[in-house]
């Protein structure tokens, strides 16, 4: 990695971030970058499983808000950005074989085939800028960590071979800020919208906030209320049940940054 990319913490534009990811000089979480633009979760599957996964997304719109469904073999998504190549433009990918995570890579060109179908799902990073602009601290951004994500005891609606627990992202807030963050996020339905829970994590099956299933441990302050949003990592939990011969996803927190504006009420 070049020295400038490793120390430059300023927000990058969507195109600049994608170019650096493509060049292999940006491999960090994307929260805080490309303000005002949609960020997306990625799921890539063989074409014979695409219809069932589409049904899974439609049945579970909170964790799986659809932004793009590709044609078999097409790694572009001109509806989200004219120069996007899904094989290279994310800072990190996960490779799955028969429902098991087998590798983490920064380029999937050698894995791509004409049979693969790409899905891009909305991401909660897309409403964080509006929360921050309201003067509310988005803690994981301030401390330079990835957001904390947890598997819950809430089941998704199964479709075909796809089933599993709801995954949530958590952001801690002072009580007054928690209410304001909920109101703001509700205006971004394609970025998971309003949270699914706030307060006691045990009520949704989370045993220990200090040990997330994905991302980094949270930084909690006295009096904080944990607020939980449905998360686009949910399909990665469902891949364990579906067990496709090959699947590719984003590495949690390492999103596709698009050129599609994420504005309040734009997708209602």
Q: Which pairing describes strands 100-105 and 197-198: parallel, antiparallel, or unpaired?
A: unpaired
Count CB atoms within 10 A of the CB of residue 159. Answer: 19
Separation between Cα atoms, residue 46 and residue 227, nearest integer Å? 35
Listed in sequence order, the residues at least 6 apart from 135 whose beta carbon sits closer than 8 Å to its beta carbon are: none
Q: What is the mean pLDDT of residues 135-164?
A: 97
For 4, residues 6+ apart whose C-beta sits below 8 A from its C-beta are: none
What's the token pair of residue 182?
């909920």
In whole angstroms, what is the distance from residue 127 CA to residue 156 CA?
23
Can you give the residue ranges of every domain in the chain? 3-123+242-261, 125-234
CA distance linking residue 133 with residue 30, whole number of Å: 18
Decide if 244 contacts 99 (C-beta within 8 A): yes
Please choose, from the candidates 159, 148, 149, the residue with its C-alpha nearest in 3D space to the C-alpha of residue 219. Answer: 148
Query: Could you tell me how many residues make up the chain?
Result: 268
Residue range 152-177: mean pLDDT, rounded: 98
Rounded to the nearest 5 degrees, what angle is found at the Cα of 40, between the Cα atoms of 202 and 197?
Answer: 20
* Distance from chain centroid for Cα 109: 21
Whole-number pLDDT of residue 10: 84
Share of the chain above pLDDT 90, in %: 92
Q: What's the CATH number of domain 125-234, 3.30.2040.10, 2.60.120.10, 3.40.640.10, 1.25.10.10?
A: 3.30.2040.10
Q: Which residues contact 173 (CB under 8 A, 6 or more apart)?
A: 136, 137, 139, 181, 224, 225, 227
Average pLDDT taken over every residue of the chain: 94
**Confidence tier at 7 by pLDDT (50, 70, 90):** very low
Query: Does residue 267 carry a pLDDT above 90?
Result: no
Per-residue model confidence (pLDDT) at position 8 = 52
Does 4 have pLDDT greater than 60?
A: no
DSSP H helical ranges for 121-261: 125-133, 139-142, 175-185, 234-242
Write down the pLDDT at residue 263: 77
State pLDDT tens for residues 19-35. 999 999 999 999 999 99
Find the helix or strand (DSSP H, E) in which 66 lies: strand 66-69
Superfamily of domain 3-123+242-261: PSTPO5379-like (3.40.1640.10)
Residues 264 and 127: their CA atoms lie apart, in Å, by 9
Report pLDDT for 3: 34
Pairwise CA distance, residues 101 & 222, whole Å: 36
Burial label, 175 (beta-carbon count in 10 A; 0-12, 13-18, 19+): exposed
Which tokens go with 40?
A: 């997306």
Percent of the chain with pLDDT over 70: 95
pLDDT range class, residue 69, cuts 50, 70, 90: very high
21-30, 65-74, 127-136, 258-267: segment of lowest average pLDDT:
258-267
């Amino acid at each position: 990695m070049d020295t400038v990319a490793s120390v430059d913490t300023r927000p990058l534009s969507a195109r600049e971030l994608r170019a650096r990811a493509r060049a292999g000089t940006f491999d960090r979480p994307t929260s805080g970058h490309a303000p005002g633009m949609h960020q997306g979760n990625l799921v890539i599957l063989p074409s014979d499983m695409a219809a069932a996964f589409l049904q899974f997304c439609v049945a579970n719109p909170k964790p799986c808000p659809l932004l793009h469904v590709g044609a078999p073999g097409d790694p572009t998504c001109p509806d989200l950005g004219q120069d996007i190549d899904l094989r290279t433009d994310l800072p990190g990918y996960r490779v799955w074989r028969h429902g098991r995570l087998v590798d983490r890579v920064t380029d999937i060109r050698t894995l791509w085939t004409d049979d693969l179908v790409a899905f891009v799902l909305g991401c909660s990073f897309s409403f964080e800028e509006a929360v921050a602009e309201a003067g509310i601290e988005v803690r994981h951004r301030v401390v330079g960590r990835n957001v904390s994500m947890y598997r819950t005891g809430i089941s998704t609606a199964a479709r075909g071979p796809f089933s599993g627990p709801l995954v949530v992202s958590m952001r801690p807030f002072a009580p007054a800020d928690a209410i304001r963050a909920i109101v703001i996020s509700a205006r971004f339905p394609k970025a998971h919208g309003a949270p699914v829970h706030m307060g006691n994590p045990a009520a949704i099956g989370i045993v220990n906030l200090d040990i997330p299933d994905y991302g980094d441990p949270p930084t909690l302050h006295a009096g904080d209320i944990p607020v939980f949003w449905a998360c686009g990592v949910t399909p990665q939990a469902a891949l364990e049940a579906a067990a496709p011969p090959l699947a590719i996803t984003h590495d949690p927190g390492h999103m596709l940054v698009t050129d599609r504006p994420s504005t309040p009420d734009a997708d209602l």
